[in-house]
């Protein structure tokens, strides 16, 4: 039974919450007493994750959403506030990535990653932030990656997007801090999930290079 209470009366909105670390965030937040809104594109997976939390005594709502669509993001955020009264914490976890040499990345591939990682994070942050500013309280946590600072072979598109997320977060932290809205980034490092295995290190060689990105080919 979930009963810790650390986040009681808090509403958390988590993107990319159906799988991987997003789902882990949602489960842990619910254990600590939060009501969690699980946002993502795959409704079936979101419902499964939400039902798992509810079955253990937690509070969770699935929220099918493509964060690349700003109008849909605004509608989803507004709907959560109307239904639950507030959004107290936003975790920008949704991401898209694939390994490719920079010269081989198509405009469509580049734009897809930028749209999810940078634009989607911005849409969610600004939509939730407007409510947080009116509330005079709130927290935004965006997931970054080490190659946003150091670079990494095969990740030029994602590194650029993640670096943008860091710059966005730093700017908003200054703008919004006086209104008691805190904005931070978290760099979790090497996280071995089913999605990362498929997209980033499908072979042992790729896995080794992901852990040691500065080793030349």
Which residue do the tokens 């969690």 mark? 36
Tell me whether residue 100 is in a domain. Answer: yes
How many independent structural domains does the chain possess?
1
Tell me whether residue 205 is in a domain. Answer: yes
Mean pLDDT score, 61-83? 98
How would residue 152 be classed by pLDDT, with cut points 50, 70 and 90?
Answer: confident
Asked if the model's pLDDT at residue 207 lies above 60, the reply is no
Tell me whether residue 6 is in a domain. Answer: no
Catalytic residue among 123, 147, 176, 201: 147
What is the spatial distance between Cα 56 and Cα 132, in angstroms, rounded to a whole number? Answer: 29
* CATH code of residue 81: 3.40.50.720
pLDDT value at residue 215: 42
CB atoms within 10 A of CB 4: 12
Residue (of 126, 128, 170) closest to 148 by Cα position:
170
Measured at the alpha carbon of residue 85, what is the angle toward residues 84 and 88, in degrees to the nearest 5?
A: 95
Mean pLDDT score, 149-169? 94
How would residue 188 be classed by pLDDT, with cut points 50, 70 and 90?
Answer: confident
CB atoms within 10 A of CB 10: 17
Tell me whether residue 101 is in a domain. Answer: yes
Active site (annotated) includes residue 147: yes
Tell me whether residue 3 is in a domain. Answer: no
Asked if the model's pLDDT at residue 178 lies above 70, the reply is yes
Which range of residues forms the domain containing residue 161?
11-211
Sheet holding 35-40: strands in order across?
59-64, 35-40, 11-15, 89-92, 138-143, 181-186
Tell me whether residue 4 is in a domain. Answer: no
Tell me whether residue 2 is in a domain. Answer: no
pLDDT value at residue 153: 87
């Amino acid at each position: 039974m979930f009963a810790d209470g650390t986040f009681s009366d808090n509403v958390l909105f988590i993107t990319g919450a159906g799988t991987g670390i997003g789902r882990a965030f949602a489960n842990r937040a619910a254990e600590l007493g939060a009501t969690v809104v699980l946002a993502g594109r795959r409704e079936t997976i979101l419902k499964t994750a939400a039902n798992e939390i509810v079955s253990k005594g937690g509070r969770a709502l699935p929220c099918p959403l493509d964060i690349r669509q700003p109008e849909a993001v605004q509608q989803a955020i507004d709907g959560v506030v109307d239904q639950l009264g507030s959004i107290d914490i936003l975790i920008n976890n949704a991401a898209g990535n694939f390994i490719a040499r920079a010269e081989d990345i198509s405009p469509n591939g580049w734009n897809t990653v930028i749209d999810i990682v940078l634009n989607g994070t911005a849409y969610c942050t600004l939509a939730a932030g407007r409510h947080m500013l009116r509330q005079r309280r709130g927290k935004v946590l965006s997931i970054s990656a080490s190659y946003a600072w150091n670079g990494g072979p095969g990740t030029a598109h994602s590194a650029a997007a993640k670096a943008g997320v860091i710059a966005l977060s730093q700017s908003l932290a200054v703008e919004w801090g006086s209104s008691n809205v805190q904005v931070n980034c978290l760099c979790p490092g090497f996280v071995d999930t089913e999605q990362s295995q498929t997209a980033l290190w499908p072979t042992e060689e790729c896995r080794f290079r992901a852990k040691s990105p500065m080793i030349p080919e």
